[in-house]
Structure 1
């Protein structure tokens, strides 16, 4: 029988970093000063904070694990331009012990994630990711990659990581959302099993190995983590992500926060550390010999830089008395660290990545001859001027590739800004207008399926007879026109649907076959586009993102009107 010992363990943790490698300038509310913008976070500063956490753990004779609770993909122009390659390099710089697999890691399907797994130097944990049916004829299948600890179909539980501290084993496993098909664009042969069932089986397998100190890295979201703590026995801590929840009281900085740090439920402590590489959590656990909690301490820390300003651009400096007052207050707060960026990581970003991004930001693509308004649901001034341009760009791109394509279809929420008259740059398109680096996909459907898709999306956006998921599902099209009769019975609300073929408008026939293009998010049937999820044939990936399609088309056009 294994003889266990107590253990003092610090878990340094972050989540939902979303490619925020540069510092962010965020608004703080300070007594007597009002709103002051402070430069915070970023990976260079995060690396320095991790070094400090390790040093303090050594001084306190505590062991330390550094973990990331998922969603490192998406979120910035860096990801839009470099995809996952920069994420692999920068997260390797953190020297992570483990990372959970988040939903946004699948936004571009499996290939970018598979490449990411080939280059990271830390394990990726997702005990409920089932790759047993994955097509091994793929160019780069994920099943069997040594750095991926997924579901073991033969054993009936998730794989887990074991770390030893002075001979005492600690096991870590991860969970990804089991509703992944609703959230992202994993390949059809990639499945996610019920989280609680897999978690219970995995904990049982860990305990059968004689390990009683267990950590769960969860990307399920804060409320589900609290439920998991109630339902799952034998786990000391759940390190969470997905909902960007900032635990702790940050009212002293005007940042709010939810609950106190380290909520304990049924003997399991639950933590989460905000988002966007702004915070580092430090969970200090004293574990009894039997793996139960003896003591819980720690907190989330805002990673604060040196620069304060009155404006978000950092151009309007504080007066000298204001600066002195601000720092006098900030230096007295215990929920922040003032951190100098790590020079090696700062230099890596500045020399290897920033020059290309600066050029991308300056690159002129087109000129808007007038202001172009974006609105999600049409009002008395009409619908969006912008979203149809994105739909047309996808259709144009597919046709440039020699693919028969009748229409482009784009959800209103996938367009994030209006366009001001004047120059439009590539950086603005990829970073502001279409910031989600999601691929373009082509699909085959009948006229009836197209009609059902349009009605379902509008019903969802307007809550007409259904409880919708938000106005972002409202459809904008290139190559289609129709009327929506809101008071007609369900299934009969789309009237006079026509398609533009060879410059002529033709009625859409229910049994005829048509080809459309959308982002992978829409093509997967998300948020009201449910009929597209039920098509008999999977969509065809075109190998480029919507931002790349828009940039190519608008360069071709030169002028937007």
Structure 2
């Protein structure tokens, strides 16, 4: 090992791992082989590759730092079963110097976050999270947890840590989505402050105190990271998350190319490493003794097994000749890295967590006679095939809990994938279709507000007269029928609106009549165009049933999905209704 201490810092980073502790299977191609499947990523490979990269840089006399840019919660059965416990223990196995929390860490409120934070052994970088007025009656408060670097209300800056690159001091702080209450369910007593304003004040403070080098760990999203870099000078590096952007040219192996690694905006390098623990990003920053960033080099690397398969189930390896061709092609490809597994992490997963995940992955609960695709907003191919089944399951279960329930409504973004033809397992539902452990709720509301919520949700999903937050708000319903006319004036776009009565059939929804329904704890908070639901009548009943619980229960009673479930709803974006 070199005795010379250089001004180099190797920064390794991941983001949006979403409880993907095990390896995944991805489809690739290369010039000589059209399509093949290969195992990729997982925490065991991340750990092994981090160790190799760290040892390499330390041997050169440089320093190393590793960060997670948020959204470790949700996504697989590991979260559905163990909530944050498995996440904390697995993340503790990685050499993390810090992590920013993403929106999915707050899906179930602050209590789960507090338990997670208390279990991890690295700093939580949350520079625009104000904990100063946290409710003192709470059992486990975040305000007093030493590893949380939140907003400093006295200095009006982000609390930060110092990382050294030889003789250079680099301030590191975190920023997360400031409109967190729109995307998740944080407690109202711990607000999120404007990210750009917090960054500006923090960087000004640092400069006054002689610190001119800054790294920001961000869960703002790729476009917001670019806006942050454009708005503020003096940031060396933004390590981002939320958008699942795998930077780098991966077209040569059949993956989408979005941006080059380390996109430079206003002399700030922006990096992001995809999602689901498939890839590890790293960049080498070299500074002059005066703190000038004189070089930046790095890449994202897919962490691959060295055996290719003909099928997604990885049961049939490609023949020996193709194996050689694929191996050589991937070995020469700069974005791929053959990587073994860290056995310590493998043993931890086997001993404590994987057994129950595997058992449920093999538990068949239903069957689909065809592929059921998921399309958030109806298009020329039609509506989502799977979302109507999901919302029917919500209605079925909620009506069992409370016989007054007359309808169900769910946002399209709460459904994360379709189903393939064939057997449906517990893991397909709880790990893929409905991986977010969010409960359903029961509430009552006047017809006029329900109507306005459906219009608002579609407006938001389609940017019709508003700047929407994404297509995920599009509403799918059960026991309701509506017609949406996009060209009509705001407030007049729902032209037909009926509810099903088991005795008399379809009846018009009346403005002043109160109806009982079910949605998720996410939707009922009025997010993403659903604000009229805030006019609900009575106290909301939060059940102990998750979205996946409802669909799994439905399949236990009705195990055969024989066709896409159609609805009577019409979304008329131009002049032709799409049913």
TM-score (norm 2): 0.85
1:89-104 matched pairs, under 5 angstroms: 89-104=89-104
Q: Is the 8 A contact 2:262 2:271 kept in 1?
A: yes
Matched residue SS, 2:90: helix
Q: Is the 8 A contact 1:439 1:519 kept in 2?
A: yes
Q: Which residue is 2:235 aligned to?
A: 235
Q: Is the 8 A contact 2:441 2:542 kept in 1?
A: yes
1:20 aligns with 2:24: no
* Cα distance in 2 between the residues matched to 1:153 and 1:73: 28
Q: Which residue is 1:547 aligned to?
A: 548
Q: Is the 8 A contact 2:446 2:537 kept in 1?
A: no
Q: Which residue is 1:523 aligned to?
A: 524
Q: Which residue is 1:445 aligned to?
A: 445
* Cα distance in 1 between the residues matched to 2:7 and 2:537: 54
1:53-202 matched pairs, under 5 angstroms: 53-164=53-164, 169-202=169-202
Query: Relative to structure 2, which stretch is displaced further, 179-188 or 217-226?
Result: 179-188
* Cα distance in 1 between the residues matched to 2:339 and 2:420: 38
* Cα distance in 2 between the residues matched to 1:161 and 1:460: 39
1:108-507 matched pairs, under 5 angstroms: 108-164=108-164, 169-366=169-366, 386-398=386-398, 405-416=405-416, 424-460=424-460, 472-481=472-481, 489-494=489-494, 497=497
Deviation of 1:166 after TM superposition, in Å, equals 6.3
* Cα distance in 2 between the residues matched to 1:67 and 1:379: 39
Q: Is the 8 A contact 1:246 1:274 kept in 2?
A: yes
Query: Relative to structure 2, which stretch is displaced further, 303-312 or 435-444?
Result: 435-444
Deviation of 1:194 after TM superposition, in Å, equals 1.2
* Cα distance in 2 between the residues matched to 1:489 and 1:234: 46
Question: CA 1:123 to 1:444, structure 2 compared with 1: closer, same or farther past 3 Å?
Answer: farther
Matched residue SS, 2:332: coil
Alignment size in residue pairs: 557
* Cα distance in 2 between the residues matched to 1:146 and 1:404: 47
Structure 1, unaligned runs of 5 or more: none
Question: CA 1:407 to 1:334, structure 2 compared with 1: closer, same or farther past 3 Å?
Answer: closer
Q: Is the 8 A contact 1:212 1:290 kept in 2?
A: no
* Cα distance in 2 between the residues matched to 1:73 and 1:427: 17
Q: Which residue is 2:34 aligned to?
A: 34
Deviation of 1:525 after TM superposition, in Å, equals 2.9
Deviation of 1:346 after TM superposition, in Å, equals 1.2
Q: Is the 8 A contact 2:6 2:166 kept in 1?
A: no
Q: Which residue is 1:10 aligned to?
A: 10
* Cα distance in 2 between the residues matched to 1:370 and 1:231: 50
Q: Is the 8 A contact 1:29 1:36 kept in 2?
A: yes
TM-score (norm 1): 0.87
* Cα distance in 2 between the residues matched to 1:367 and 1:34: 31
Question: CA 1:400 to 1:292, structure 2 compared with 1: closer, same or farther past 3 Å?
Answer: farther
Matched residue SS, 1:353: helix
* Cα distance in 2 between the residues matched to 1:365 and 1:281: 38
Q: Is the 8 A contact 1:125 1:174 kept in 2?
A: yes
Please tell me the root mean square deviation across aligned C-alpha atoms, in Å: 3.4
Query: Relative to structure 2, which stretch is displaced further, 238-247 or 389-398?
Result: 389-398
* Cα distance in 1 between the residues matched to 2:31 and 2:373: 39
Question: CA 1:226 to 1:491, structure 2 compared with 1: closer, same or farther past 3 Å?
Answer: closer
Matched residue SS, 2:113: helix
* Cα distance in 1 between the residues matched to 2:298 and 2:381: 53
Q: Is the 8 A contact 1:132 1:143 kept in 2?
A: yes
Question: CA 1:514 to 1:300, structure 2 compared with 1: closer, same or farther past 3 Å?
Answer: same
- How big is each residue's C-alpha offset from its partner over 1:448-507, in whole Å with a ceiling of 9 and x where there is no partner? 211211232344556666676666544333344555566765424446655567866776
Deviation of 1:533 after TM superposition, in Å, equals 5.3
* Cα distance in 1 between the residues matched to 2:537 and 2:149: 32
Q: Is the 8 A contact 1:125 1:149 kept in 2?
A: yes
* Cα distance in 1 between the residues matched to 2:428 and 2:36: 26
Q: Is the 8 A contact 1:434 1:547 kept in 2?
A: yes
Q: Is the 8 A contact 1:398 1:404 kept in 2?
A: no
Question: CA 1:11 to 1:423, structure 2 compared with 1: closer, same or farther past 3 Å?
Answer: closer
Query: Relative to structure 2, which stretch is displaced further, 299-308 or 472-481?
Result: 472-481
- How big is each residue's C-alpha offset from its partner over 1:318-344, in whole Å with a ceiling of 9 and x where there is no partner? 222222222233333343322110111
- How big is each residue's C-alpha offset from its partner over 1:411-468, in whole Å with a ceiling of 9 and x where there is no partner? 3443456667875432222123323333323444333211211232344556666676
Deviation of 1:164 after TM superposition, in Å, equals 5.0
* Cα distance in 2 between the residues matched to 1:55 and 1:143: 36
Q: Which residue is 2:573 aligned to?
A: none
Question: CA 1:403 to 1:347, structure 2 compared with 1: closer, same or farther past 3 Å?
Answer: farther
Question: CA 1:375 to 1:96, structure 2 compared with 1: closer, same or farther past 3 Å?
Answer: closer
Question: CA 1:79 to 1:159, structure 2 compared with 1: closer, same or farther past 3 Å?
Answer: same
Query: Relative to structure 2, which stretch is displaced further, 441-450 or 52-61?
Result: 441-450
Q: Is the 8 A contact 2:8 2:166 kept in 1?
A: no
Query: Relative to structure 2, which stretch is displaced further, 293-302 or 58-67?
Result: 293-302
Structure 2, unaligned runs of 5 or more: 563-579
Question: CA 1:367 to 1:46, structure 2 compared with 1: closer, same or farther past 3 Å?
Answer: closer
Deviation of 1:47 after TM superposition, in Å, equals 0.5
Query: Relative to structure 2, which stretch is displaced further, 323-332 or 273-282?
Result: 323-332
- How big is each residue's C-alpha offset from its partner over 1:115-157, in whole Å with a ceiling of 9 and x where there is no partner? 2112111111121122334333344443332222111223311
Deviation of 1:173 after TM superposition, in Å, equals 0.2
1:532 aligns with 2:533: yes
Query: Relative to structure 2, which stretch is displaced further, 181-190 or 372-381?
Result: 372-381
